[in-house]
């Protein structure tokens, strides 16, 4: 029973981290608990303008937080994911002086998420970390492509074009034309 409760609390923190990255930190692309061959499975990772990545590791217990320090990408932080890195935990679980260098701390008090420690301004992601992030993104895109078969991702992304063709050149009300979408990851 105790394990299930801990897993439920962790899932709640992951949900809050996704919301925080989307609405407070303004990330446009967010993945949670996605596996890939690189070895690191961030609880939540998001990307915002200029391809800046933000990792949030959620911890519900002291033992989980302390064990995290022994992971290979914590022992060699230059191999980790994230331009910026945060821990998210219930308030009071992690002390400021326990944080790895340049990491931030998000504390949860009820439904509120507070940035108790701002991360350093340096970009913590190395070329190795960037390649691991690409691996994670490509693995995630492949999962999408498998689910939308027989379409390819390219065909799926062009669905608006087919919608407009079907409607005599007009998109249905409420659908934004592809060339009017705000997508900071596309250079126009």
Q: What is the pLDDT of residues 18-74, one digit of tens each?
A: 999 999 999 999 999 998 777 899 999 999 988 999 999 999 999 999 999 999 999
Q: Where are the domains of the chain?
A: 2-128
pLDDT of 130 > 70? The answer is yes
Q: Which CATH architecture fits 2-128?
A: 3-Layer(aba) Sandwich (3.40)
Closest Cα to residue 156, out of 165, 164, 144?
144
Among the listed residues 118, 7, 119, the one whose alpha carbon sits nearest the alpha carbon of residue 60:
7
Q: What is the pTM assigned to this prediction?
A: 0.83
Q: Which two tokens stand for residue 94?
A: 């992690």
């Amino acid at each position: 029973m105790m394990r299930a409760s801990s897993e439920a609390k962790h899932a709640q923190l992951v949900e809050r981290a996704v919301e925080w990255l989307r609405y407070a930190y303004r990330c446009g692309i967010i993945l949670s608990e996605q596996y890939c061959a690189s070895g690191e499975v961030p609880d939540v990772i998001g990307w915002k303008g200029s391809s800046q990545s933000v990792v949030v590791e959620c911890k519900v217990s002291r033992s989980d937080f302390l064990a995290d320090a022994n992971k290979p990408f914590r022992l060699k932080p230059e191999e980790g994911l994230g331009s910026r890195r945060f821990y998210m935990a219930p308030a009071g679980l992690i002390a400021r002086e326990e944080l790895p260098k340049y990491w931030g701390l998000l504390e949860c008090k009820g439904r509120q998420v507070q940035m108790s420690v701002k991360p350093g301004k340096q970009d913590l992601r190395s070329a190795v970390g960037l390649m691991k992030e690409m691996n994670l993104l490509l693995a995630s895109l492949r999962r999408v492509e498998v689910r939308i078969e027989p379409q390819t991702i390219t065909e799926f992304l062009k669905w608006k074009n087919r919608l407009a063709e079907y409607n005599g050149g007009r998109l249905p009300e409420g659908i934004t034309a592809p060339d009017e979408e705000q997508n900071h990851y596309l250079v126009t």
